[in-house]
Structure 1
């Protein structure tokens, strides 16, 4: 049997502490350990033999890092389901999904609340108008010089180009462990009417407000680094969410931590 070792509790240890743990336990140089600490999101090791898992736990204890051990493999996160709207009434929440589907949840049903600003790659088509190239113009001028015949420089033409980029997007995931569901709220897909008079013209501000409402509705749910920063009105730009996969790794750890608590 192999094992997985994760950090316990809601809040992650400081990255500098995790880097020291990983450097000592895995014999990594400082830069490699720092990168691993930044990317692991508390998932310290997996597919470890029992002796290796015990050794990693011992190193964590030396640095005051509480851990939990689980057998491998563990079930993955449920697929995210996009939420279109939500209503709160009678101590429960009804999440409207695509079509006529809906999920009803009491505060205790929500195991994890995880929010983050994540970078998403974009690909868009841009139509531009381009004239003849310098080479085409030179060829035409050469023909004019050789023949003496007037020749136009050529017509402009429309060209479609694909432009790659990235944009910052916010999302909130709600994990309902007993129901085996993961609900996702994104500004572009969600109706913020539930905010009532607090609703603003900014979708990003609205998502922050909804995050606060969700946290108040489910006070017992574990909260991730991004949500804790939002609730404390701390800057989000320094948070190391390079992609949606970072958020999902953190959610996975929090879900396991709630099961092992």
Structure 2
């Protein structure tokens, strides 16, 4: 079975991909749009060779370069080593992990991929609330009528669930020897930025991503990383880290096969 992947760093516009999928699957453009939002560089998967060839032809007709690849040839990159620090020295990227220092040449970085993932976070807080104005008025009325010192009532503990949406950014770094590193924006020491370091995690992550990209200009980059560096709104948003890993696997294949 075959997959059909786009032969570009940046993903094609969603509108164009929707047209391609609509024609290939013979479905409404609205339904195709929902699929195209989640293809992450794969125009089709698990296709017979004739279907793969037909899909490539439709892509070409719409000005998009694509190619077929046997499914098993696209390696999944879903087991990264998360690092919390790094430094740049002598054209190397160095990091400390478990008291051991590792070093890799910056020129050996094959692919860089960025993702901004939204998480729904909820927490329960306990507050103490006193009686309402109505309850106080009733108690005061009773005291005035009966003369009994019943007071205005005690406060009570109330538990409330607060829901928020938080965003965490990730930067994956893959070397030509398939070493796979990951930076989590919320758990990283940005001291490598030196005087450029700010009090904003988001800004620090952006500066770090831009710095690494500039130090390895030949590395392939995914669409969100281009958007981040170029100060543009995200052209595509991954729903989960798995979605980013899918696009990453596509880019690693294109680089390892010397397509790009």
| TM-score bracket for the superposition, by shorter chain length | 0.7 to 0.9
Tell me the TM-score normalised to structure 1 length: 0.83
Indicate yes or no: 2:16 matched with 1:8: no
**1:22 Cα offset (Å):** 0.5
For 1:245 and 1:89, the matched residues in 2 are separated by 32
Deviations 1:6-63 (A, max 9, x none): 1112121221111111110111211111122222121111111222212111211211
The equivalent of 2:48 in structure 1 is: 49
Deviations 1:104-146 (A, max 9, x none): 2112332211123321221223222245699x99xx99x99xx
Give the SS at the match of 1:85: coil
The equivalent of 1:244 in structure 2 is: 241
- Does the CA-based 8 Å contact 1:119-1:244 persist in structure 2? no
Task: List 4+ stretches of structure 1 deviating above 6 A.
Answer: 147-150
Aligned counterpart for 1:255 among listed residues 247, 252, 259: 252
- Does the CA-based 8 Å contact 1:82-1:189 persist in structure 2? no
For 1:49 and 1:150, the matched residues in 2 are separated by 85
**1:101 Cα offset (Å):** 4.5
The equivalent of 1:211 in structure 2 is: 209
- Does the CA-based 8 Å contact 1:120-1:243 persist in structure 2? no
**1:148 Cα offset (Å):** 10
Matches within 5 A, 1:71-150: 71-73=70-72, 74-97=74-97, 99-131=98-130
* Cα 1:206/1:157, change in 2 over 3 Å: same
Give the SS at the match of 1:111: strand
Gaps of at least 5 residues in structure 2 are none
For 1:72 and 1:131, the matched residues in 2 are separated by 64
For 2:122 and 2:174, the matched residues in 1 are separated by 30
The equivalent of 2:156 in structure 1 is: 157
- Does the CA-based 8 Å contact 1:115-1:227 persist in structure 2? yes
Tell me the TM-score normalised to structure 2 length: 0.84
* Cα 1:66/1:105, change in 2 over 3 Å: same
Give the SS at the match of 1:215: helix
Gaps of at least 5 residues in structure 1 are none
* Cα 1:239/1:94, change in 2 over 3 Å: same
For 2:190 and 2:15, the matched residues in 1 are separated by 38
* Cα 1:256/1:148, change in 2 over 3 Å: farther
The equivalent of 1:21 in structure 2 is: 20
- Most deviating of 225-234 and 123-132: 123-132
Q: How many residues align?
A: 257
The equivalent of 1:171 in structure 2 is: 170
- Does the CA-based 8 Å contact 1:110-1:177 persist in structure 2? yes
Give the SS at the match of 2:180: strand
The equivalent of 1:34 in structure 2 is: 33
Matches within 5 A, 1:172-211: 172-179=171-178, 181-211=179-209
- Most deviating of 114-123 and 100-109: 100-109
For 1:256 and 1:65, the matched residues in 2 are separated by 18
